[in-house]
Structure 1
Amino acid sequence: MCFKESEEYNKINVAKQAILNTITVAGELALISPKALIICGSGLGGIAKILKGKTIKIPYADIPGFCQSTVPGHIGCLLFGRIGENMVPVVCMVGRLHYYEGYNFEQVTFPVRVAASMGIKEMIATNASGGVNETYKAGDLMVISDHINIPGLAGSHPLRGSNLSHFGPRFPAMSDAYDLELRILFFKAVRKLGINRTIHEGIYTYCCGPSFETTAECRMIRMLGGDSVGMSTVPEIIVARHAGMRCFGLSLITNSVLSTPPPSAKEAISKGLTAMEMLKNGDEKTSHAEVLREGQNASDDVNIIMEAFVNTL
């Protein structure tokens, strides 16, 4: 084992022990090894509201090795509790970490490895994303069946560097990244609830951010087969799968991406039009406020579905 691996294992163990100590002091020993890790995406932190019984909140600042979430809508804490009639023990990451915040992939995925070291076997990752598929509308949900990792294809990969062989192999398969059984359980739960919200199943495309995609990039993603696009989830999924965790991903579609080419300056000159005249019907822009707003609008349905889904685990 090289020094880098040894150092990383030590950091993970120190963080795990700090979490276990807090749970022990709180007297909730049943929460020491939760059934699932739930990552709450932008605008979806309300998932933590469905926890039942006594909960234990641990701010990231109190966990050695954890970085601070800096994005609006991401509180930055672990919240331990139980979900559903079966009182399934879970831990929620209320606020995730992103590469665009300036953290490297090792820092972004560190909480996932800590969760794996605690014996957690399943991970549920939620996010807010833009709808690339032209049939997707704001407020729809998308169960992730596969992903396109654009940074990874370009060489920026969360498993780059020394392999932590204690967790998984050097070359892990990703063809089964999003567990079929978990997806089936989710759709069964939705069917029983009878919720009137469109739910798709499709391919999530990961881009680093923090800028939203250009119209040309959106057209490229559509050509590649992506159904939605966002700035998270894939690094955590890859590291979780490397550690042998079963994964489920859910995207809230907050907007339809803008894919119409920008106005042409050459056309403006030929028609004698000003920039303002050319832009009057094409000045729509995506914003983070829009993401949070759609998350708030969908939160009640998402919470109900998640409670029913997690209750089956």
Structure 2
Amino acid sequence: MNNILDAIQTITQRAAHLQPRIAVVLGSGWGGLTDHITGAIQIPYSDLPGFPQPTVAGHSAMLWLGHIGKQAVAVMSGRKHGYETGAVDGMAEPLRVLKGLGCHTLVQTNAAGSLRTDMPPQSLMLISDHLNLPQRSPLVGLTGSERFVNMVDAYDSELKHLAVQVAQAQGAMLFEGVYAWFLGPQFETPAEIRMARLLGADAVGMSTVPETILARYLGLRVLALSFITNLGAGMSAEQLSHAHTLSQAQEGSAKASRLLADIIGQLP
């Protein structure tokens, strides 16, 4: 609790004029969103107790505060992944801080592999639901009835509808589908990809699901988008690597970030 209060105090001291209402977590391919923040104030995670020090290339460690359109935002450039330590609650304290600052909505982004041949690399996918394949939860160890979180409509229907409308107005293609979470850090096997497809997944990745569970526990509305960097293992001759993921993500960053900024600017 002390970490949370200390981090809130640091943020409010450095950005006393700002009351963020939208929290954003940036994954690979989405870093260009910070170009759309006006009046930006940057705070290194190292100055914020309880915030992670990402160990993954492509993830910085900076909290951005400012405005996107008329929306006051708090943007986390970098997240903690379960595969870094084995613990899946690494984002618990940062999300509690963002909630404590007054945020009511969490917008999540990630890079993902497609399980659909009609959704190729450089596509954008709106997450409609998820599969928690490791069956790991950041709520383990908590007490009280609040830990039994209802995950129906975990990805807010109103926010999804708005995102689709913004994409249509831009003439941008925005797919919609189910995201399957694998713990990683190794990529999936072709057999695991076939399993995920049979279970109804449209994309796979190594993040987002723990944060969604935490956000719903905290009462935050959630909107999430994936940037597609590759087809799943065995679906093409492509050799998967983190370097390839970053290359694909950087190539499409401007397009993805522009659409995300427009969506955030119109959130309720």
TM-score by length of 1: 0.81
For residues 52 and 128 of structure 2, the distance between their equivalents in structure 1, rounded to whole angstroms, comes to 29
Aligned pair partner of 1:45 in 23, 28, 31: 31
3-state secondary structure, aligned to 1:162: coil
Q: In the superposition, relative to structure 1, how do residues 138 and 294 fare at CA in structure 2: closer, same or farther (>3 Å)? A: same
Superposed CA offset, 1:75-120 (max 9, x none): 1110001112xx2110111111111111622323321121112220
Q: In the superposition, relative to structure 1, how do residues 211 and 42 fare at CA in structure 2: closer, same or farther (>3 Å)? A: same
The one-letter code of the counterpart of 2:260 is M
The one-letter code of the counterpart of 2:55 is T
For residues 253 and 239 of structure 1, the distance between their equivalents in structure 2, rounded to whole angstroms, comes to 24
CA RMSD of aligned residues (A): 1.6
Identity of matched residues, %:
40
**Structure 2 runs not aligned, ≥5 long:** none
Match in the other structure for 2:246: 292
Q: In the superposition, relative to structure 1, how do residues 283 and 256 fare at CA in structure 2: closer, same or farther (>3 Å)? A: closer
Superposed CA offset, 1:122-167 (max 9, x none): 0100000000123221111110000000122xxx21110023x6xx
The alignment status of 1:215 with 2:190, answered yes or no, reads: yes
Aligned pair partner of 2:7 in 2, 12, 15: 15
Superposed CA offset, 1:272-292 (max 9, x none): xxxxxxxxxx86421112211
The alignment status of 1:75 with 2:37, answered yes or no, reads: no
Match in the other structure for 2:132: 149
Aligned pair partner of 2:92 in 109, 117, 123: 109
For residues 218 and 207 of structure 1, the distance between their equivalents in structure 2, rounded to whole angstroms, comes to 10
Aligned pair partner of 1:234 in 206, 209, 221: 209
3-state secondary structure, aligned to 2:112: strand
The one-letter code of the counterpart of 1:300 is A
Residue 18 of structure 1 contacts residue 64 of structure 1 at CA under 8 Å; is this kept in 2? no
**Offset, 1:310:** 1.2
Match in the other structure for 1:158: 138
3-state secondary structure, aligned to 1:254: strand
Any runs of at least 4 consecutive aligned residues in structure 1 with deviations exceeding 6 A, and if so which? none
Superposed CA offset, 1:191-249 (max 9, x none): 11123xx3211000011111000111111111111110000001011100111110001
Aligned pair partner of 2:121 in 138, 152, 169: 138
Aligned pairs for 1:196-207 (under 5 A) are: 198-207=173-182
For residues 108 and 195 of structure 2, the distance between their equivalents in structure 1, rounded to whole angstroms, comes to 25
Q: Which protein is richer in helix relative to its size?
A: 1
**Offset, 1:10:** 3.2
Q: In the superposition, relative to structure 1, how do residues 309 and 283 fare at CA in structure 2: closer, same or farther (>3 Å)? A: closer
The alignment status of 1:188 with 2:165, answered yes or no, reads: yes
For residues 250 and 298 of structure 1, the distance between their equivalents in structure 2, rounded to whole angstroms, comes to 14
Match in the other structure for 1:275: none
Structure showing greater Rg: 1
3-state secondary structure, aligned to 2:248: helix
3-state secondary structure, aligned to 1:169: helix
For residues 206 and 78 of structure 2, the distance between their equivalents in structure 1, rounded to whole angstroms, comes to 13
Match in the other structure for 1:6: none
Match in the other structure for 1:34: 20
Superposed CA offset, 1:240-266 (max 9, x none): 011111000100111011236xxxxxx
For residues 149 and 109 of structure 1, the distance between their equivalents in structure 2, rounded to whole angstroms, comes to 17
The one-letter code of the counterpart of 2:139 is L
TM-score by length of 2: 0.94
Match in the other structure for 1:245: 220
